[in-house]
Structure 1
């Protein structure tokens, strides 16, 4: 029997067919007539499988789920599942799978590079030299070796960060909802203790109701004076106004951001004028190697779904066995 697959990633239809068309002749690939909500709702009633939109524009909320009576499986081609109503999908019996771990090393490498760039003032030194300056001794450059590094969240990205920072001689600690059996030498601390004792604080935790706004003005004020913040998680985890205030006051010496409340940030977003913020366009995990692993994970799960095998990385608690409606 033919499975109707609705592909939502923001790519040309020809590209989507080229990427997903290698599966088998049991899958019929369709795309929405337009990239808007009305077209999504029009396309959903015939869909057996949805490959999600990593941009979040065409997410499946509760209303969209009601428009998808045949939906048997949602494969999100990213680690984050922001925007999808996981509870509504679970109530409808639809497993939602992500691609956990495919970009962990790529994101952890970015976190390491960002921390080094902040501590050694690489971006500001480059700017000053291009303007004719010679900032050899005008800023205090610090070594990463020996620094106290705190990792918030200990999934694949957090674990990779612990390994990489630890290998460079950092004192690594971490927080997650539960202590991990394998922590790669990192010590478990409660969140407030971790925040108060980290020269470099790396955020690698999913955005949930529990973590939204987790780093507000109060928590940021508990970070050591002169510390730096590295956010490769989601913009909503940090109160942006509080972060800017902490940077402008000098309490934090720098921040590196790969994620934002609104992506891309507006032209008048105050972050764009903060000279002690390193800005990155949500590209920490965007490497050819990570993209290849992501595509393979998606293809493997789609093949499992139509082949009667359990899918991997289900995130909403539904059985990984896919059943047609």
Structure 2
């Protein structure tokens, strides 16, 4: 999710001529040539694709004919991060105030929906004001983590609790984005848009980490590798991440390898660069080797005040990409 009201670093797109990997993208869903602003995607229990729309303020299933049909609540506001949790039969989605929709603002909410019907089975907020929920992630023990760009926090909803609680407070100008929990549940890795990737040791409990008064140092990586401007993060195998980078001059889909303690990025590989990518946002891995992600979101078709710059933008697109085998070192 783009930071609310924030500047994006070097957003001018650079297209890579002859990029074979870009040609491997397969379109699995697209919006009409109208303002939709698609942020995230997942699946309902039947396997039908579902997408979240910021501008249309709702979730929509994608029919075999490509038609987008409302799914779930229609009385909320802009919809952002979306995760399908098959184990609990739930879809989790962040609903937040935004200048990019046409709804009256209400407090930010994390919604739990029944994965077949879209019925709301849980609504979770946070204390205080100014919240803007964006990306979300699942924990190893049923926790739900929420990136809150409004308060520069990462929040957590623990099983059985009724309210989201602050876990991480970022310093001024911080902008929390995508998050991933390591397979063993110990590490939470998250992207701060302006500084790079960071980690939190969850084995130390769920007390607040206040980085406004402590050192805020990103994970180190290979020399010369840019890890700022990452939006979506997806877990890959046991020690890897798929990162969707839209805050650099050329948008990219990256594969990253981490050290065993998740303190260092040891390898970085660009799987996709430029080409059909236009402000890509988030996605998920399906079947172990397929990345389903929003490859064109329409964020660039809205101005700083959240208004569409045209009535007929190019469609928002969800794509499938076969993740290649990793080259041997």
TM-score, normalised with respect to structure 1 = 0.25
Structure with greater proportional helix content: 1
Structure with greater proportional strand content: 2
